[in-house]
Amino acid sequence: GNSVTQMEGPVTLSEEAFLTINCTYTATGYPSLFWYVQYPGEGLQLLLKATKADDKGSNKGFEATYRKETTSFHLEKGSVQVSDSAVYFCALSLMDTGRRALTFGSGTRLQVQP
């Protein structure tokens, strides 16, 4: 079956520190990969995505590269801000299935201190 594994949190960083949140996956077929972010009290929203190997998704200073050889999609940001404090979910989807289900990791909470 399909699964996504994320590093456990919380991750606590000082403002302007470098962020990496690890994500690896297993999937039958060729998944698209996503990072969703959940700010306190809100629903999830798409942060970035990549649909094929070696694609790099980027948004709001965050980046992640689809690495098929290592089945990974690690999230990085060069300089985090307090406003980046949230829970980050890595997810995959097999786009050719009718279910359209996203398989989520367990989430990683990021806390950025001033």
Partner 1 sequence: EAQVTQNPRYLITVTGKKLTVTCSQNMNHEYMSWYRQDPGLGLRQIYYSMNVEVTDKGDVPEGYKVSRKEKRNFPLILESPSPNQTSLYFCASSLHSGRGYTGELFFGEGSRLTVL
Chain contacts with partner 1 (rule: CB under 8 A): 4, 32, 34, 41-46, 49, 51, 89, 93, 95, 98-102, 104-107
Decide: 91 and 2 in contact? Cβ < 8 Å. no
Give 2 or 72: the residue with its C-beta nearer to partner 1.
2
- Closest CB 75 distance from partner 1, rounded Å: 15
Give 17 or 87: the residue with its C-beta nearer to partner 1.
87
